[in-house]
């Protein structure tokens, strides 16, 4: 199974049935059957976004699907190596390295830093995002990137 | 697939390496503690997770329902943050 780092824009689109990118991300999952990298920051960000969206049936469906995926060992693959303190340090290093070339905000850099770390640790097949700026940044760091647009 | 073999915790404790190697080779074990099943030891290639198809069945059904799509809130949040940064 390919290992994919989906940033929270892509994860949200996958789980929420009425997100504008939902169909695109789902088709990519059907085609490639990936496991997604999951760690403390992505868990916090996707849960937070889905809690806020849990105001109707579609939001509830999305929340239940996320919780079911979290109970698996592989579909959302937890990476113990990605700890918050280490990834903040890695993001700080990446920010210093890239300087003004980064188009995104601080929290977006954390995802790319974490994806880069996974690539070094165990190999990463792709980085997925719905954010053109994030995709540009990831590609500049030689991550194989898929942009949903 | 081989049948599952029942063992107790004491047996597992006395020969952990043997049981793990047997599991690695394909044997499955049901472990009991005080006469009750307490866990399962499985080969590493055992499929224990449901597929995305199973996990996402309800989401996919909901996606087919008529109705408009919504903006991605993560992108919206990022755009707001970047807009604030540009104003500085």
- A108 touching B, CB under 8 A? yes
Q: With CB atoms and an 8 Å threshold, state whether B59 touches A15.
A: yes
Sites in chain B below the pLDDT cut of 50: none
Secondary structure of B29-77 in the HEC alphabet?
EEEEECCEEEEEECCCCCCCCCCHHHHCHHHHHHHHCCCCCECCHHHHH
CATH superfamily of B4-87: YefM-like domain (3.40.1620.10)
- B76 touching A, CB under 8 A? no
pLDDT value of position A90: 96
- A52 touching B, CB under 8 A? yes
Calculated CA dihedral for residues A33, A77, A52, A62, nearest 10 degrees: 40
> Cα A24 to chain center, whole Å?
15
User: What would the pLDDT profile of A89-121 be if each residue is shown by its tens digit?
Assistant: 999 999 998 877 677 778 889 999 999 999 999
Cα separation, B41 vs A89, in Å, equals 38
Give, in order, the Cα–Cα distances in Å from A140 to each of A38, A105, A135.
23, 16, 9
Helix, strand, coil percentages (3-state) for chain A, rounded to 5, are 60, 15, 25
Structure tokens at A144: 């194989």
Write out chain A residues lying below 8 Å of B63, CB-based: 17-18, 22-23, 26
In Å, how far is A120's CA from the nearest CA of chain B? 24
Structure tokens at A2: 């390919």
DSSP annotation of A64 reads H
> Any idea where the domains of chain B sit in the sequence?
4-87
Instruction: Spell out the domains of chain A, with CATH numbers in brackets.
Output: 3-147 (3.40.50.1010)
pLDDT value of position B49: 87
pLDDT value of position B83: 60
Provide CB contacts within 8 A for B39, sequence distance 6+: B30, B31
Structure tokens at A33: 């059957």
User: What would the pLDDT profile of A25-63 be if each residue is shown by its tens digit?
Assistant: 999 999 999 999 999 999 999 999 999 999 999 999 999
pTM (2 d.p.): 0.83
- B80 touching A, CB under 8 A? no
Our CA angle for A103, A106, A110, nearest 5°, is 105
Per-chain mean pLDDT for chain A = 94
- A12 touching B, CB under 8 A? yes
Element (DSSP H or E) covering residue A107: helix A106-122
Write out chain B residues lying below 8 Å of A68, CB-based: 50, 55
């Amino acid at each position: 199974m390919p290992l994919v780092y989906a940033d929270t824009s892509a994860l949200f689109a996958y789980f929420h049935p009425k997100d504008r990118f939902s169909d695109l991300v789902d088709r990519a999952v059907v085609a490639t059957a990936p496991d997604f990298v999951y760690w403390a920051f992505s868990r916090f960000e996707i849960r937070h976004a889905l809690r806020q969206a849990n105001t109707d049936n579609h939001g509830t469906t999305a929340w239940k699907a996320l919780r079911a995926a979290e109970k698996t060992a592989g579909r959302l693959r937890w990476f113990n190596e990605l700890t918050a303190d280490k990834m903040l340090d890695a993001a700080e290093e990446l920010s210093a390295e890239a300087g003004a070339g980064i188009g995104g905000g601080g929290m977006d850099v954390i995802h790319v830093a974490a994806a880069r770390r996974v690539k070094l640790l165990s190999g990463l097949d792709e980085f997925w995002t719905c954010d053109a700026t994030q995709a540009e940044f990831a590609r500049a760091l030689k991550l194989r990137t898929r942009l949903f647009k | 697939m081989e049948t599952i073999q029942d063992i107790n915790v004491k047996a597992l404790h006395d020969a952990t390496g043997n049981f793990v190697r047997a599991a690695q080779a394909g044997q499955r074990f049901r472990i009991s503690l005080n006469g009750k099943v307490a866990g399962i030891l499985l080969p590493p290639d055992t499929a224990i997770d449901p597929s995305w198809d199973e996990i996402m069945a309800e989401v996919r059904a909901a996606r087919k329902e008529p109705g408009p799509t919504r903006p991605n809130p993560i992108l919206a949040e990022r755009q707001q943050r970047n807009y604030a940064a540009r104003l500085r």
